[in-house]
Amino acid sequence: MALLDVDSFPPSAAAFFRRRARAAGVSVTEQLRRELLGAASRRAPIDSVVEFLLAHRPAFPDPEPDSDATVLARVYRLPTEALTRLYLRATAAAQPITAYLRHELLTVARTPTVEDLLLEFQELPIPVDLAEVRAAIHYARAI
Rounded mean pLDDT, 2-25: 92
Q: Check: CB of residue 94 under 8 Å from CB of residue 64.
A: no
Q: What does the pLDDT read at residue 64?
A: 67
At residue 20, what is the residue type?
R
pTM here is: 0.85
Inform me whether the pLDDT recorded for 12 exceeds 70. Answer: yes
As a whole number of angstroms, the distance between CA 111 and CA 99 comes to 19
Question: Each residue of 17-54: pLDDT tens digit?
Answer: 999 999 999 999 999 999 999 999 999 999 999 999 99
Q: Within 10 A of 103 (CB to CB), how many other CB atoms are there?
A: 12
Measured over the CA atoms of residue 19, residue 24, residue 28 and residue 31, the dihedral's sign is negative
| Better-scored residue on pLDDT, 61 or 96 | 96
As a whole number of Å, the CA-based R_g of the chain is 18
Rounded mean pLDDT, 129-141: 92
Tell me the average pLDDT of the chain: 90
Q: What does the pLDDT read at residue 32?
A: 95
Q: What does the pLDDT read at residue 1?
A: 40
Q: What does the pLDDT read at residue 63?
A: 57
Mapped onto helix, strand or coil, the DSSP state of residue 23 is helix
Rounded mean pLDDT, 88-104: 93
Q: What does the pLDDT read at residue 113?
A: 92
